[in-house]
Amino acid sequence: MAMFPDSHQDLLDAPIASLTTIGGDGFPQSTLIWFLHDGGELRLSLNTSRLKTRNLLRRPQVSLLIVDPADPMRYLEVRGMARAQPDPDRAFAQRVGAKYGADLTAYDAPGDERLVVTIEPVNVYAVDMHH
């Protein structure tokens, strides 16, 4: 498993990232997303009705791009496999929401479910274009 380099550990607490999944037409689909660095892993809380969720359930190859909010010349790209697990009591969604001061379930329609998605890194690219 690829590890997150010390030089970019600060980005694991960044406020936002771009998640790229592979659509049914084979083209990439990117979405800005909230995330948590949780127990050494990158995790997302996703609603099952969203396109990005359907994409990664069909093809679990994903990329998460985390740009340094203070210096866009630094970023971390994590390519890996998405592993989804149910979040029936929405406990993980509440933890993600706490980071952002938001209630993620407010974005859910009746009948929507939540998943905990863990990105299992295959390749990690730590980029600093100043060097």
The CATH fold assigned to 6-128 is Pnp Oxidase; Chain A (2.30.110)
Q: What is the pTM of this model?
A: 0.94
The pLDDT assigned to 1 comes to 53
Q: Where are the domains of the chain?
A: 6-128
Of the chain, the end-to-end C-alpha distance in Å amounts to: 26
pLDDT, mean over the chain: 95
List, for residues 72-117, the tens digit of each pLDDT value: 999 999 999 999 999 999 999 999 999 999 999 998 999 999 999 9
At residue 8 the predicted structure's pLDDT band, cuts being 50, 70 and 90, is very high
Strand locations in the chain (E):
17-22, 28-33, 36-38, 41-47, 61-67, 74-86, 114-128
